[in-house]
Structure 1
Amino acid sequence: MVPLLLDLQRATHVTLHHLTTVLADLRLSPSELNALANLAVFPDGAGTVSELGAAAGVRPTTLTGIVDRLEQRDLLTREPHARDRRTVVLRLTPAGTTAATRVLDAMTSLERRALSSLPSSAAADFAVVLQALSDGAA
């Protein structure tokens, strides 16, 4: 029997390949697509570096390079936190919001197409499995 995590890893690889192909004109890496999509679902398209790292599943040292590249392309900005000078807030720019919306739309389209032949409860069950795996790895 193939471990479920190996199947998940394969599905992730295929999904990322699809997304980078569909969104090739954005010239973003899978990690950059992931960061934009995660930042887009935060209220007002803004969150702290640690919040984005946790949501995207990326280590702070790796996230720094991703954020640097997205900032250089004017897709996000770094801002000081209103109450904590040690904390940096990342905020999508208008161009970043446009790109992130495209990423989320492509993800939604792929998800709908991939799950269209499954019963509606399958997606909910899968979400439970993903949460259990996330909780178990934490």
Structure 2
Amino acid sequence: MVLLLELQRATHATLHHLTAHLADLGLSPSELNALANLGARADAVATVSELGAAIGGRPTTLTGILDRLEQRGLLAREPHPRDRRTVVVRPTAEGARVAARILDAMAQLERRLTPEAVEAVSAALRELSR
């Protein structure tokens, strides 16, 4: 149980650091997370369901996040090319620039750890995700 408390504290501290470091963007931690997850994908495109699973949010919460990002011109929603019942989301050109900046800030934060620490934490998180 102590590990999970440490994970919660580390998550909170990381989000606080990122939100402060990227304050000029005016994005919430959830919005930063959504854009980062999109930007980290090879094609920068995800279905709403895939993005929801990646960020661990409830569908109604995700809808609000996507609405705000779309209103700010950072994200576009469109029909899935093969399944009209499904919606895909992708960052706009500006959204891709913001996502790259978020991912860079995350990488800078991660570089504070030794490679061995990164591997150990990654391994533990993979185990918890199973």
Query: Secondary structure of 1:77's partner?
Result: strand
Query: Secondary structure of 2:82's partner?
Result: coil
Question: Are 2:40 and 2:103, in contact at CA under 8 Å, matched by a contact in 1?
Answer: no
2:122 is matched with 127
2:31 is matched with 32
Deviation of 1:128 after TM superposition, in Å, equals 1.2
Deviation of 1:84 after TM superposition, in Å, equals 0.3
Deviation of 1:74 after TM superposition, in Å, equals 0.5
2:36 partner amino acid: A
CA deviations on 1:14-40 (whole Å, 9 max, x unpaired) are 110100010000000000000000011
> Partners in 2 of 1:42 and 1:123 — Cα distance?
20
CA deviations on 1:68-100 (whole Å, 9 max, x unpaired) are 000000000000000101000101001100110
1:3 is matched with 2
2:81 is matched with 82
Deviation of 1:44 after TM superposition, in Å, equals 2.3
Larger deviation, residues 40-49 vs 28-37: 40-49
Q: Does 1:14 align with 2:9?
A: no
2:41 is matched with 42
Number of positions where the alignment pairs a residue of Structure 1 with one of Structure 2? 130
> Partners in 2 of 1:63 and 1:130 — Cα distance?
23
1:128 partner amino acid: A
> Partners in 2 of 1:108 and 1:59 — Cα distance?
27
> Partners in 2 of 1:45 and 1:101 — Cα distance?
11
Deviation of 1:129 after TM superposition, in Å, equals 0.6
Question: Are 2:77 and 2:89, in contact at CA under 8 Å, matched by a contact in 1?
Answer: yes
Deviation of 1:102 after TM superposition, in Å, equals 0.6
RMSD of aligned C-alpha atoms?
A: 1.1
TM-score, normalization by structure 2: 0.95
Q: Percent identity?
A: 66
